[in-house]
C-alpha cells in the first residue's frame, strides 16, 4: 500500500499537518465512495509509519477520521436502507465501509498501544488519553456493525483489545472523563459510555436482526449510552457481564451465577423510560429531531428497533423448549410463494426442487443447523421457510430468526417454527368492495397448544392484511368469516395475522 513507497519521515506527504491538510483538500469530495477508499489508504499509511511521533500520528489519524465522517455517514445511510440493494451495490458499499472501519480501529489501537506501553514521546498525548480510548472503542463499534451486517465471525482479539482499554482507563481513572467524541458532536460522552454502548448493543442479540435494525438499534443505544452503567458490582439490574481477564463477547447474567473480581456488569435499566418515551413519540409517526440516526429514516422501522430493545431489556429471550440431539432431514423452500406452491392453494407448481438441510439441533419451537454459505443468497433474517421432515406428509412453516457465520465461513441458522402443519386456503373479501382480489392464496396455520379457541393465524401475501377488512375462507369443509384482530408480523413477502372465526352456513355472506 501507500506506506511502502515512502522513505524517510520527511518524505512522507503527511510529515506535517499543513501538507496533510493540503493533500486532503485535493481529494475527490464529490464522490463519497472514492473519498472513503482514498482515506482508507491514507489512514493505513499513517498507522504503519513508526517514525511519526505519537502526538503527530494521533493528530493525523484524528484529521483523517474527522474528514471521513460526512462521507462515511452518507455511505452508511445508503447501505442501511429499507429498500433491497443489488448484490453488486451491497458488496461495494460493505467492502468500502468495512475496510475503512477496520483500518480506523487498527490506527487508533496502534497509537493506544504505544501510549499504554510508555513509548518515547507518549507523554505529549497523556492529556488526550480519554479521547484516544473513546475514539478507539467507537471505531470498534462501527467495525462490529459491518461484521454483523454480514453475520460474520468475530475476531476474538476485539474483546481482548476492549478489555485492555477498559483496564487502562479504570486504573488511570479516566473512565468517566467527559469528552466530545467528534467535532460538532451534540453532548459529551465518556470512555465508560462508549464501552457500555458497544457491550449493551452487541449483547442485545444482533444476530436476530436485519441489517437495517442492527444500525438503528446501535444508534438508539448510542443516543442513550449515558444511561448505561458498567461496574464491578452485580445487582438485580445487571443484564450482561464482560470478563476483563477472560475477554469474550458479553453474556447474559444468570440469577445466582458466580461473579469474579475481573467481571464487569452492564446495566441498561435506566434506558427503559427513555425507550418508552421514544416509542410513544414514534407511534405518532414522528421521529424526534434530537435522535441522531446518522440520516433520515421513517418512524416505523425506528419504532420497531426501539421496541426490540425495550423488549430485550424488560424480558430477555429465553429458550422455550429443550433441544433434542436428533438428526432430521428437512426439505426446505424459501419464500411465501414457494411455500404456497407446496400446498393445495398453489395453482402453478414450481419445478424447482426443495433444498435438503440436515438438522441436528431441534425443539418443538424451532431448530438450528449449519449450512455452507455458498448458494444461500436468499436466506436472511425474516425469511419465511416451508419445512417438511423426511417421512412426514404435511408441510410446516418457520421463520429465520438468527444468522451468524462461523470461522469456517459456514452459516449458522436458527429458525422459529410457526406451526408444524399448514393448509392452503383461498381468501375472498366479505361483502365485496374494491381493493382486494378474491381467490388470493393464503396459509392456514394449525392451532398450537394454548391458542385461544375461535381464532386462527393466517399467512398471507405481503400487504394483504387490513384491520378494517373482514375476509372469507373455506377450511376443513367449513366456511368461515375472518374478522381481523391484529397483524402479528410483517415480512418482506408475507403478512402473519390473527383473526376471529365465525362459522357460516354454506352459501352465506
Dihedral sign for Cα 320, 324, 325, 328, please. negative
- Burial code (b: 16+ CB inside 10 Å, e: under 16) for 352-363 equals eebeebebebbe
Which pLDDT score is estimated for 8?
40
Query: What is the pLDDT, as a whole number, of residue 370?
Result: 87
Q: pLDDT value at position 17?
A: 87
Give the residue extent of every domain in the chain.
Answer: 1-203, 328-419, 422-504
362 HSE (CA, 13 A, CB side) = 15
Give the burial string for 445-484 (b: 16+ CB within 10 Å, else e).
bbeeeeeeeeebbbbbbeebbeeebebbbebeeebbbbeb
Q: Which has the closest alpha carbon to 419: 459, 469, 477, 383?
A: 459
* CATH number belonging to the domain at 328-419, selected among 2.40.10.220, 3.90.190.20, 3.40.50.300, 2.170.190.11: 2.40.10.220
pLDDT at residue number 433 = 59
Q: Determine the Cα–Cα distance for residues 281 and 43; give it in Å rounded to an integer.
A: 41
The pLDDT of residue 97: 97
Identify the CA nearest to 426 among candidates 348, 343, 345.
345
| Separation of alpha carbons 289 and 186, rounded Å | 12
- Dihedrals φ, ψ of 400, to 5°? -65, 125
Instruction: Choose among 73, 249, 40: nearest CA to 148.
Output: 249
- Please tell me the total number of residues recorded for the chain in this structure: 509
Q: Half-sphere exposure of residue 359, counting CA atoms within 13 Å on the CB side?
A: 23
Instruction: State phi, psi for 137 to the nearest 5 degrees.
Output: -65, -45
Instruction: Quickly list DSSP for 267-288.
Output: E-GGGHHHHHHHHHHHTTT---
pLDDT for res 371: 83
Task: Report which secondary-structure segment, H or E, holds 468.
Answer: none
The predicted structure's pLDDT at residue 35: 95
Cβ(206)–Cβ(147) below 8 Å: no
d(CA 442, CA 397): 13
Q: What is the DSSP letter of 185?
A: -
pLDDT reported for residue 6 = 39
Per-block average pLDDT, block size 10, for the chain (509 residues)?
A: 42 84 88 96 93 93 95 95 88 96 97 93 92 97 93 90 97 95 84 96 86 95 94 91 94 78 95 96 94 92 95 75 66 89 59 80 81 73 89 89 81 88 89 70 88 91 91 90 92 92 72
DSSP-derived secondary structure letter, 453: T
Residues 6+ apart with CB under 8 A from 130: 169, 174, 177, 179, 190, 191
**In the chain, helix, strand, coil percent, each to 5?**
40, 25, 40
Interatomic CA distance for residues 415 and 385, integer angstroms: 9
What are phi and psi for residue 227, nearest 5 degrees? -85, -10
* pLDDT at residue 5, as a whole number: 39
User: Cell for 198?
Assistant: 458497544
pLDDT at position 277: 96
Identify the pLDDT of residue 380.
Answer: 83
All three cell numbers of 488, joined, read 402479528
Element (H, E) at 164: helix 157-171
Amino acid at each position: 500500500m501507500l506506506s511502502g513507497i515512502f522513505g524517510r519521515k520527511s518524505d512522507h506527504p503527511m510529515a506535517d499537518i499543513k501538507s496533510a491538510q493540503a493533500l486532503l483538500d485535493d481529494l475527490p469530495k464529490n464522490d463519497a465512495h472514492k473519498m472513503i477508499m482514498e482515506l482508507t489508504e491514507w489512514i493505513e499509511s499513517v498507522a504503519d509509519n513508526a517514525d511519526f511521533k505519537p502526538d503527530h500520528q494521533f493528530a493525523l489519524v484524528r484529521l483523517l477520521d474527522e474528514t471521513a465522517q460526512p462521507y462515511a455517514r452518507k455511505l452508511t445511510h445508503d447501505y442501511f436502507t429499507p429498500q433491497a440493494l443489488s448484490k453488486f451495490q451491497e458488496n461495494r458499499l460493505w467492502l468500502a465501509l468495512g475496510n475503512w472501519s477496520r483500518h480506523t480501529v487498527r490506527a487508533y489501537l496502534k497509537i493506544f498501544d504505544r501510549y499504554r506501553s510508555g513509548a518515547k514521546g507518549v507523554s505529549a498525548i497523556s492529556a488526550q488519553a480519554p479521547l484516544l480510548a473513546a475514539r478507539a472503542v467507537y471505531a470498534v463499534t462501527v467495525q462490529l456493525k459491518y461484521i454483523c451486517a454480514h453475520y460474520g465471525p468475530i475476531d476474538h482479539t476485539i474483546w481482548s483489545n476492549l478489555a485492555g482499554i477498559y483496564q487502562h482507563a479504570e486504573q488511570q481513572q479516566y473512565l468517566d472523563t467527559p469528552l466530545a467524541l467528534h467535532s460538532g458532536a451534540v453532548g459529551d460522552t465518556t470512555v465508560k459510555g462508549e464501552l457500555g454502548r458497544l457491550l449493551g448493543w452487541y449483547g442485545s442479540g444482533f444476530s436476530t436482526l436485519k441489517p437495517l435494525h442492527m444500525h438503528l438499534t446501535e444508534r438508539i443505544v448510542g443516543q442513550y449510552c449515558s444511561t448505561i452503567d458498567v461496574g464491578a458490582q452485580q445487582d438485580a439490574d445487571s443484564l450482561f457481564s464482560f470478563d476483563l481477564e477472560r475477554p469474550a463477547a458479553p453474556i447474559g447474567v444468570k440469577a445466582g451465577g458466580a461473579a469474579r473480581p475481573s467481571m464487569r456488569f452492564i446495566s441498561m435499566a435506566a434506558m427503559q423510560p427513555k425507550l418508552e418515551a421514544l416509542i410513544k413519540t414514534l407511534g405518532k409517526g414522528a421521529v424526534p429531531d434530537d435522535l441522531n440516526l446518522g440520516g433520515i429514516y421513517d418512524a416505523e422501522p425506528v419504532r420497531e428497533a426501539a421496541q426490540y430493545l425495550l423488549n430485550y431489556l424488560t424480558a430477555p429471550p429465553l429458550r422455550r423448549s429443550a433441544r433434542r440431539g436428533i438428526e432430521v432431514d428437512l426439505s426446505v423452500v424459501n419464500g411465501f410463494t414457494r411455500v404456497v406452491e407446496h400446498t393445495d392453494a398453489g395453482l402453478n407448481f414450481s419445478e424447482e426442487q426443495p433444498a435438503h438441510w440436515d438438522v441436528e439441533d431441534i425443539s418443538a419451537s424451532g431448530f438450528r443447523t449449519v449450512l455452507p454459505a455458498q448458494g444461500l443468497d436468499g436466506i436472511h433474517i425474516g425469511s419465511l421457510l416451508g419445512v417438511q421432515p423426511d417421512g412426514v406428509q404435511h408441510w410446516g412453516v418457520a421463520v429465520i430468526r438468527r444468522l451468524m457465520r462461523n470461522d469456517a465461513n459456514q452459516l449458522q441458522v436458527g429458525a422459529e417454527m410457526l406451526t408444524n402443519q399448514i393448509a392452503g386456503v383461498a381468501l375472498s373479501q366479505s361483502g365485496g368492495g374494491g381493493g382486494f382480489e378474491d381467490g388470493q392464496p393464503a396459509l392456514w396455520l394449525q392451532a398450537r397448544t394454548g391458542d385461544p379457541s375461535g381464532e386462527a393465524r393466517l399467512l398471507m401475501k405481503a400487504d394483504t392484511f387490513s384491520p378494517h377488512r373482514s375476509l372469507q375462507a373455506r377450511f376443513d369443509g367449513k366456511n368461515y368469516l375472518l374478522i381481523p384482530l391484529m397483524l402479528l408480523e410483517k415480512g418482506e413477502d408475507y403478512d402473519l395475522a390473527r383473526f376471529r372465526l365465525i362459522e357460516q352456513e354454506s352459501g352465506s355472506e
